[in-house]
């Protein structure tokens, strides 16, 4: 990074409360499953699809319950400013 430049992510202002946007949806699980297939194909090793979120919508919860996708639950407090 060049001195004085601002990273793109530093310009983002997140709405309050951010946690309402930290819920995984079908788009997240589709991406996780696609990436797991890609990693399996490229490495020859099994890769498991996982999402990380504070919560999940109904569709994602069903996929997690069925064992199709893994879920790592994020702590909502991690989104609070220091």
Helices 26-43 & 58-66, crossing angle to 10 degrees? 40
Q: What is the pTM of this model?
A: 0.69
Q: How crowded is residue 69: how many other Cβ atoms within 10 Å of its Cβ?
A: 22
**b (16+ CB within 10 A) / e for 8-27:** eeeeeeeeeeebeeeebeee
Q: What is the DSSP letter of 68?
A: S
Give tens-digit pLDDT for 32-75: 999 999 999 999 999 999 999 999 999 999 999 999 999 999 88
């Amino acid at each position: 990074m060049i001195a004085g430049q601002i990273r793109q992510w530093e310009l983002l202002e997140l709405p309050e409360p951010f946690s309402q946007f930290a819920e995984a949806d079908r788009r997240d699980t589709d991406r996780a499953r696609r990436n797991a297939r890609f990693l399996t194909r490229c490495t020859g090793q099994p890769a498991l699809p996982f999402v990380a979120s504070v919560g999940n919508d109904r569709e994602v919860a069903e996929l997690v319950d069925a064992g199709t996708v893994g879920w790592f639950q994020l702590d909502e407090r991690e989104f609070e400013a220091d």
